[in-house]
Amino acid sequence: MRESDEDGQLPPCKIALETKPDYILCTCEGVLDGPALLDLAEKSLRNRLDHNLNGILADIRKSTSELSMYDAVQFGECLAELASPAMRGRIAIVHDHRGEAAARLFETALINRSFTVRLFSDSKAAASWFTGKIDQDPAGRQ
């Protein structure tokens, strides 16, 4: 369980972006709500395009989702408006068991809008996907 502040509230989402040779690594820590998710998507996508990289690796293992199915659909719509299909690249989402349901919602919403998305439980497998050297399935199993 996540540590809460004095009021019992979980901390807001902190987003960190790091440029890797083939992708933008985006890590999230805290509560991932609608505004935080849109901020994450916009920053990640712009950074990927600025550096002409293959995609975005979003590591959400240290975040907690407070998003509904409706939020996932709205997120897909907003992200589709930010980039034409030719500019989208790949999106890898690294999650743990707690975040699997939310990750699957976003995967479906993005695939339905012509994004190339895969879910991973292992960050090394996700990173390998951008170079085409993946030797594991998306769940990280050998």
Could you tell me the fold of the domain covering 14-131? Transcription Regulator spoIIAA (3.30.750)
Mean pLDDT of 104-120: 88
pLDDT of residue 5: 47
Q: Where are the alpha helices (DSSP H) in the chain?
A: 34-51, 69-82, 100-111, 123-131
Give buried/exposed letters for 35-66 (b at 16+ CB in 10 A, else e).
Answer: ebbbebbebbbebbeeeebbbbbbbbbebbbe
Per-domain boundaries in the chain: 14-131
pTM of the model: 0.79
Q: What is the pLDDT of residues 80-91, one digit of tens each?
A: 887 777 677 899
pLDDT of residue 6: 56
Q: What is the pLDDT of residues 52-82, one digit of tens each?
A: 888 899 998 988 877 777 887 888 888 888 7
